[in-house]
Amino acid sequence: MHPTIETRYLNLVEELGLGRREEVSTIIPLTGGVASDIVQVIVGDQRLCLKCALGKLKVDEDWRAPVHRNRAEYAWLEVAAQMIPESTVALFGRSQQSPCFAMEFLEGDDTYLWKTSLLNGTLNVDEAISVGQAIGKIHARSASSAFSTEPFRNRDDFYELRLDPYLKFTASRHPAVAAHLESLVERLYEASSVLTHGDVSPKNIIFRDGSPIILDAECATMGDASFDIAFCMNHLVLKAVHLPAVRSELLNAALEVWGTYVHYVHWESPEQLEAKVCELLPALMLSRIDGKSPVEYLTEENRQVVRKLSLKRLQTPCISLERLMTSIAYQLENDR
């Protein structure tokens, strides 16, 4: 590890009162993400996870984002700790001097990253249900007038981190649907009805004792509820393309996320929200092929399948998510 990065973590341990720098025995970088330097640190006999935001993200395209998003992330994790205490990581403070914070290092026998188990073809529908519940509770509670929105007026960061690299960049590569994608960007930018996490991806969800702990809330903003649900379903749909042996289970799990979540929707009509998810999901599918953060596990043939499928569904949106999943399943089996 570069000495200045090591010094940064040693300073953070001391600033947050977690121990003295001499007590730090190990600093191990964690992999998987593109937006942060994140490490496991052992201080005395305590294992911690320290995370600092990067100004330039680790992707091929030039993608920069303001590091103060680390503040929004910490604030989201604090809100989650109150709203869904069964599903949270313990927090140990955020730096006043650098865009960094400390949290519990999640580990143990019944602890696993959802992405790893999904890519191994191991899927339990209860996982999808519990994720739908967790997002539903946070959206529903944040839609109340008593909720303090001050730390989450972050739509410009959300634009930099999500709308521009995913939808706008994809619009620039697909003139046939560019106007449609631009209109989605505008609608999502203007929205502020609920607290959205912005990155509900299996690589950001660690299950511990059956409860999903949602991490990596750098994109948190007051926004449109459709984003988190479509984003999460998209990850399951793309894995269904990749893994034919568990395809129907994955598409069913995507539907279960929605089917569980919809019971919490009180701030707008569930039908209207479902229509928005039906429209956004194909847009996000296409964005993971031709946006700035392409999915890494699909073959070129499967990328082409997703392109064709998502363009078709963008041009002719389905009227329900059940129909959308059925049409995706049909196309994957019959119309490659």
Ligand X SMILES: Nc1ncnc2c1ncn2[C@@H]1O[C@H](COP(=O)(O)OP(=O)(O)O)[C@@H](O)[C@H]1O
Q: How far is the CB of 220 from ligand X (least distance, A)?
A: 12
Choose which of 203, 239, 288, 313 interacts with ligand X (CB under 6 A): 203
Give the whole-angstrom CA distance, residue 69 versus residue 49: 18
How many residues interact with ligand X (rule CB under 6 A)?
A: 20
Report the distance separating Cα 144 and Cα 139, nearest Å: 9
3-state secondary structure of 38: strand
Helices and strands of the chain, counted as H and E runs: 12, 10
Q: Cβ closer to ligand X: 34 or 319? A: 34
Q: Nearest 5°: phi and psi at 121?
A: 80, 15
214 binds ligand X (CB under 6 A): no
Spatial separation of the C-alpha atoms in residues 224 and 262, rounded to whole Å: 14
Distance CA 303, CA 45 (A): 46
Choose between 218 and 290: whose C-beta lies nearer to ligand X. Answer: 218
Among 39, 49, 278, 284, binds ligand X (CB under 6 A): 49
In angstroms, give the least distance from the CB of 173 to ligand X.
Answer: 24
52 in helix, strand or coil?
A: strand
216 binds ligand X (CB under 6 A): yes
> Is 122 or 269 the residue whose CB approaches ligand X more closely?
122
Residue choice 10, 18, 24, 35 for contact with ligand X (CB under 6 A) = 35
Of 218 and 279, which CB lies nearer to Mg ion in the complex structure?
Answer: 218
Of 71, 83, 5, 13, nearest in space to 38 by CA: 5
Considering only 103-111, 128-136, 234-242, 268-276, which stretch makes contact with ligand X by CB under 6 A? 103-111
94 phi, psi to nearest 5 deg = -125, 145
Told to check if 28 binds ligand X by CB under 6 A, we report: no
Among 2-10, 35-43, 178-186, 247-255, which window interacts with ligand X (CB under 6 A)? 35-43
| Per-residue contact string for residues 23-62; x = within reach of Mg ion by CB under 5 A | ----------x-----------------------------
Please work out, in degrees rounded to the nearest 5, the angle formed at the alpha carbon of residue 219 by the alpha carbons of 217 and 220.
70
Helices (H), 90-224: 114-119, 125-142, 155-158, 169-173, 175-190
Q: 34 touches which of Mg ion, ligand X, none (CB within 5 to 8 A by kind)?
A: ligand X
Is residue 204 involved in binding Mg ion (CB under 5 A)? Answer: yes
What backbone torsions phi and psi does residue 267 show, to the nearest 5 degrees? Answer: -90, -10
d(CA 104, CA 91): 6
Q: What is the C-alpha separation between 100 and 54, in angstroms, rounded? A: 10
**Listed residue (86, 54, 53) closest to 71, CA to CA:** 53
- Residue 240, helix vs strand vs coil: helix
C-beta closer to Mg ion: residue 30 or 81: 30
Distance CA 297, CA 299 (A): 7
8 A C-beta contact, residue 228 and residue 196: yes
Exactly one of 164, 216, 256, 290 binds Mg ion (CB under 5 A); that residue is 216
The span of 120-128, 173-181, 215-223, 226-234 binding ligand X (CB under 6 A) equals: 215-223
Quote the least distance from Cβ 111 to ligand X, whole Å: 8
* 165 belongs to the binding site for ligand X (CB under 6 A): no
- Tell me which residue has its CB nearest to ligand X: 33
> Which one of Mg ion, ligand X, none is in contact with 224 (Cβ closer than 5 to 8 A by kind)?
none
Using CB under 5 A as the binding rule, whether residue 218 contacts Mg ion is answered as no
* Residues near Mg ion, by CB under 5 A: 33, 204, 216
Give contact residues for ligand X (rule: CB under 6 A): 30, 32-36, 38, 49, 51, 89, 103-106, 113, 203-204, 215-216, 218
